[in-house]
Amino acid sequence: MKLFVKVLVLLCLLSGAAYAAKVIYFTAGDVATVGEKADITALRSQAAAPYTVVVRSAPRSRLRATPESADYLSGSIPPNYRDGGIDSGTPLHTVYDRTNPPDPATLVSSQAILRDGDHVHLTGGGTVTFAVSGNTITVSGYTAPDGGGT
């Protein structure tokens, strides 16, 4: 299991929240136009849980040294969110297409499914056991690398 997934799972555990795929909608300017506001409203209603929709200004996002992490992109995607830079048409992340939305059950490479009672072996040793109930994940047990538990 990749380190990112472990960190994501632990952050979800600490926050008590389930992971939601992140969609970034980029506005063409600093202020959303009437059309963009309608797009955002439609996207938010269609991409309800398990998605979180955030809105960013494309001009301001161009100033970021490192693109913001996301699962999907939409709207006026700025050049620094493309794998080949300004001349590339290929986005770093999947474009969220409202006419053909992604299946929410499809997991991206940074996600994993945990079931009640699953054990995850940690890179440094030890095992964490999870309890899943009501879409909430909690740690139900930990076995240290030396075999002791807490």
Cα–Cα distance, 114 to 129 (Å, whole number): 10
Same domain, 91 and 116: no
Is this structure's pTM higher than 0.75? no
Q: Write the pLDDT tens digit of every residue in 108-123.
A: 666 666 677 777 778 7
Q: Write the pLDDT tens digit of every residue in 124-137.
A: 788 888 887 776 78
Domain with 24 in it: 19-95
Same domain, 23 and 57: yes
Same domain, 116 and 89: no
- When pLDDT is averaged across residues 78-103 and rounded to a whole number, the result is 69
Pairs from 65-71 (Cβ < 8 Å, separation ≥ 24): 67/92, 68/24, 69/22, 70/22, 70/23, 70/24, 71/21, 71/22, 71/23, 71/108, 71/110
- When pLDDT is averaged across residues 57-76 and rounded to a whole number, the result is 85
The pLDDT assigned to 5 comes to 40
Average per-residue pLDDT for the chain: 74
